[in-house]
C-alpha cells in the first residue's frame, strides 16, 4: 500500500535535477529521491532486469513503522519489494533492546556477504537502534567492510541521499546522528497492511528505566503536534485504514513540551472524532502515569480497543525501585482495579523481566503474585539482558544463569495457567473481528483480530480481508479462538 499524497507527487514531479541541491530537509530528500530514481532507471536498463529491495525489521512496532518508511522511499526510487534477501538492496533495521537481537544481526551478516559476492549490484545497509551504539559502528567499520551504508534512528528519512552518496563514492557511508535535528514526516511510506497502520505520536523516551537502552538509542522524548497526527490518520483512513496503533515508548506522557499543552486522553478524544476510523489502539502506556482521565475516555469510547498493554517488569517493590519504574506493586494492582472497575471486560497484557540484578526468590514470588492477581490475557516474558551504558549494567549481583532459567520457566507456567483460565471468558459470545489474513495453515479459514487483541480463526475467504465482521467464539484454544461468522 504505497501512500503518497497528491501534494507530494506534485512536488516530486517539479524537482529539477539541474538545480542546486535544496537546503530545506524535505525538498532536499525529494531531490535525492528523483536523483536515485534516474540512477536506478539507468541501471535497470543496463542490466535488463528489475531491481529488488528487501527490508528486514528486527525490533518493535516503532522499528516496523520506520521500515515502512524505508520501503516507501525504496519503491519510490524504483526498487521492487521482496521478502528474499537474495536482493539488490538489503537493509536490516536493527534492535538492541536485548543482547540476542544484536547476535542475530551479526549472525545473518555473514550470509548476506555470501549473497553479495554473487551480485555485483548488491547494496547492504544497516540502520536502527543498534547502530546508535558507537562500539557496534566500530565493529561494522573494522570487521564488516562489505556493508555499504550505516545510519541510525534519527535520520532514516535520508535513505535516498545516503544511497546516492554510496553510488558516487568509494567505501562505507556511515552517518549516525546523536539526536533528532529535524524529522521529515511527509515522505512516501509503504504499509504492510492496507487496513491497519502504526502512527508515531511521539519519539524517544525520558524514563531511563535502569535496565533499558532505548533512551540512549532513541533520544529524548518529543511529541508530534496533534494536528499533524490527526491529519496523518485522516489520510490513512481515506486510503482504507480502519485501525490505527498509536506508537510511543510512554504514550501517557504525550503532549509534554508542546507549545499548547494536551494530554494523551485529549489526543485520543480528538482521534476518536475522525470519520471512518473504526479502531484505535496504542502502545505503550507506562503504569506510573496512566491517568483516571484516560481510563474514563477509554471506557466511554466506541473506537478505542478493549485492551491495555501495561508493562509490569517486576512485582517486587525493591526491584521496581532499582529499575527506576516509579511505581510499587500496590500502586500497580490498584491501577488494575481502577481499570477493571470501569472496563470489566478489558484485556490486560504485560511485559516481565526475570533475573534483574539482585533478584531474590522473594522478589520473584512477588512477580508471580501480581501475575495471578492482575490476570493477564498474555505476557511477554524476558530474561534480563545486560546493556552496556545503562545503570543496571554496573549493578553487582547479576543472578546465576541456572537460577534465572528456572524462574523463567516457572513464570511461563504461571502466565500460561492464568491466561488459559481467563481467556476463555469470551467463549460463546459474538464479537467484532477485523479480518487480517487467510490462515497460514488452512486456506479455508481466515484470521481476525478482536478488539481485545486476541485472534480468532473462522471459515471465510480472502475477500473478507480488511473487513470488520461479527464472529461467534465457539471454542478457546489456549491463546486464540475458533469461531463462526454470524
The entry of ligand F3S, ligand SF4, ligand SAH, none that residue 98 binds, CB within 5 to 8 Å by partner kind: ligand SAH
The entry of ligand SAH, ligand SF4, ligand F3S, none that residue 215 binds, CB within 5 to 8 Å by partner kind: ligand SF4
The four Cα atoms 226, 231, 234, 238 give a dihedral, to 10 degrees, of -160
Alpha-carbon span 358 to 395, nearest angstrom: 8
Query: How many of the chain's residues bind ligand F3S (CB under 6 A)?
Result: 11
The SS3 call for residue 55 is strand
* Interaction between residue 319 and ligand SF4 (CB under 6 A): no
Touching ligand SF4, residues 252-291 (CB under 6 A): 286
- Given 36, 54, 55, 62, the residue binding ligand F3S (CB under 6 A): 62
Asked whether the beta carbons of 441 and 468 are under 8 A apart, the reply is no
Residue 298's contacts (CB-CB under 8 Å, 6 or more residues apart) are 268, 304, 308, 342, 343
Would you say 67 or 197 has its CB closer to ligand F3S?
A: 67
- Given 214, 308, 346, 471, the residue binding ligand SF4 (CB under 6 A): 214
* Interaction between residue 205 and ligand SF4 (CB under 6 A): yes
Residue 50's contacts (CB-CB under 8 Å, 6 or more residues apart) are 44, 80
The entry of ligand SF4, ligand SAH, ligand F3S, none that residue 167 binds, CB within 5 to 8 Å by partner kind: none
Is the bond into 284 cis (omega within 30 degrees of 0)?
A: yes
Q: Is 402 exposed, middle or buried (0-12, 13-18, 19+ CB in 10 A)?
A: exposed
Question: Minimal distance in Å, beta carbon 222 to ligand SAH?
Answer: 15
Annotate each residue in 236-255 with x if it binds ligand F3S (CB under 6 A) or - if it does not, as one string: --------------------
Select from 158, 157, 254, 163 the least CA-distant residue to 204.
Answer: 254
The entry of ligand SF4, ligand SAH, ligand F3S, none that residue 382 binds, CB within 5 to 8 Å by partner kind: ligand SAH
CA distances, 161 to each of 125, 164, 172, 212, 321 (Å) = 13, 5, 14, 32, 45
* Interaction between residue 153 and ligand SF4 (CB under 6 A): no
Q: Binding residues for ligand SAH, per CB under 6 A?
A: 97-98, 211-212, 214, 249-250, 284, 286, 311, 313, 351, 353, 382, 384-385, 387
Residue 365's contacts (CB-CB under 8 Å, 6 or more residues apart) are none
Question: Minimal distance in Å, beta carbon 210 to ligand SF4?
Answer: 9
The entry of ligand F3S, ligand SF4, ligand SAH, none that residue 59 binds, CB within 5 to 8 Å by partner kind: ligand F3S
Question: Minimal distance in Å, beta carbon 242 to ligand F3S?
Answer: 25
Other CB atoms within a 10 A radius of the CB of residue 226 amount to: 18
Annotate each residue in 122-161 with x if it binds ligand F3S (CB under 6 A) or - if it does not, as one string: -------x--------------------------------
The values of phi and psi at residue 277, to 5°, are -80, 130
Sign of the four-CA dihedral 162, 165, 171, 173: negative
Would you say 205 or 354 has its CB closer to ligand SF4?
A: 205
Residue labelled with grid coordinates 525493591: 318
User: What residues make contact with ligand F3S under the rule CB under 6 A?
Assistant: 59-60, 62-63, 95-97, 129, 214, 217-218
Amino acid at each position: 500500500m504505497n501512500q503518497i499524497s497528491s501534494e507530494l507527487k506534485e512536488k516530486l514531479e517539479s524537482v529539477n535535477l539541474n538545480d542546486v541541491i535544496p537546503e530545506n530537509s524535505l525538498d532536499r530528500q525529494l531531490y535525492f529521491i528523483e536523483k536515485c530514481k534516474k540512477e536506478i532507471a539507468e541501471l535497470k536498463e543496463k542490466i535488463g532486469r528489475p531491481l529488488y529491495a528487501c527490508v528486514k525489521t528486527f525490533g518493535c512496532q516503532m522499528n516496523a513503522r520506520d521500515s515502512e518508511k524505508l520501503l516507501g522511499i525504496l519503491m519510490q526510487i524504483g526498487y521492487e519489494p521482496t521478502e528474499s534477501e537474495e536482493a539488490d538492496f538489503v537493509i536490516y533495521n536493527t534492535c538492541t533492546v536485548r543482547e540476542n537481537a544484536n547476535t542475530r544481526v551479526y549472525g545473518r551478516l555473514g550470509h548476506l556477504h555470501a549473497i553479495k559476492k554473487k551480485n555485483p549490484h548488491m547494496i547492504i545497509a544497516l540502520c536502527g537502534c543498534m547502530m546508535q551504539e558507537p562500539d557496534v559502528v566500530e565493529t561494522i567499520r573494522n570487521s564488516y567492510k562489505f556493508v555499504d551504508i550505516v545510519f541510525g534512528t534519527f535520520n532514516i528519512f535520508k535513505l535516498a541521499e545516503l544511497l546516492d552518496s554510496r553510488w558516487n563514492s568509494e567505501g562505507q557511508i556511515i552517518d549516525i546522528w546523536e539526536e533528532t535535528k529535524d524529522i521529515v514526516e511527509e515522505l512516501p511510506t509503504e504499509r504492510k497492511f492496507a487496513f491497519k497502520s502504526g502512527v508515531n505520536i511521539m519519539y524517544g523516551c525520558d524514563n531511563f528505566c535502569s535496565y533499558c537502552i532505548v533512551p540512549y538509542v532513541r533520544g529524548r522524548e518529543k511529541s508530534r503536534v496533534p494536528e499533524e497526527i490527526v491529519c496523518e490518520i485522516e489520510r490513512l483512513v481515506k486510503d482504507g485504514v480502519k485501525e490505527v496503533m498509536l506508537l510511543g515508548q510512554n504514550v501517557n506522557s504525550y503532549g509534554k513540551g508542546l507549545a499548547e499543552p494536551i494530554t494523551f486522553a485529549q489526543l485520543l478524544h480528538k482521534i476518536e472524532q475522525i470519520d471512518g476510523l473504526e479502531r484505535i489502539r496504542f502502545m505503550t502506556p507506562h503504569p506510573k502515569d496512566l491517568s483516571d482521565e484516560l481510563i474514563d475516555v477509554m471506557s466511554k469510547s466506541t473506537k478505542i480497543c478493549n485492551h491495555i498493554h501495561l508493562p509490569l517488569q517486576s512485582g517486587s517493590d525493591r526491584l521496581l525501585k532499582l529499575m527506576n519504574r516509579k511505581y510499587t506493586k500496590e500502586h500497580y494492582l490498584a491501577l488494575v482495579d481502577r481499570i477493571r472497575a470501569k472496563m470489566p471486560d478489558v484485556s490486560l497484557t504485560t511485559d516481565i523481566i526475570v533475573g534483574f540484578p539482585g533478584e531474590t526468590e522473594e522478589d520473584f514470588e512477588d512477580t508471580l503474585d501480581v501475575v495471578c492477581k492482575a490476570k493477564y490475557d498474555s505476557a511477554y516474558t524476558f530474561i534480563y539482558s545486560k546493556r552496556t551504558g545503562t545503570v543496571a549494567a554496573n549493578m553487582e549481583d547479576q543472578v546465576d544463569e541456572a537460577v534465572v532459567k528456572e524462574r523463567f520457566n516457572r513464570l511461563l507456567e504461571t502466565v500460561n495457567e492464568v491466561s488459559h483460565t481467563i481467556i476463555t471468558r469470551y467463549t460463546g459470545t459474538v464479537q467484532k473481528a477485523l479480518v487480517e489474513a487467510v490462515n497460514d495453515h488452512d486456506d479455508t479459514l481466515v484470521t481476525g483480530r478482536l478488539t481485545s487483541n486476541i485472534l480468532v480463526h473462522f471459515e471465510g475467504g480472502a475477500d473478507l480481508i480488511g473487513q470488520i465482521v461479527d464472529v461467534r467464539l465457539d471454542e478457546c484454544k489456549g491463546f486464540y479462538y475458533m469461531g463462526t461468522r454470524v
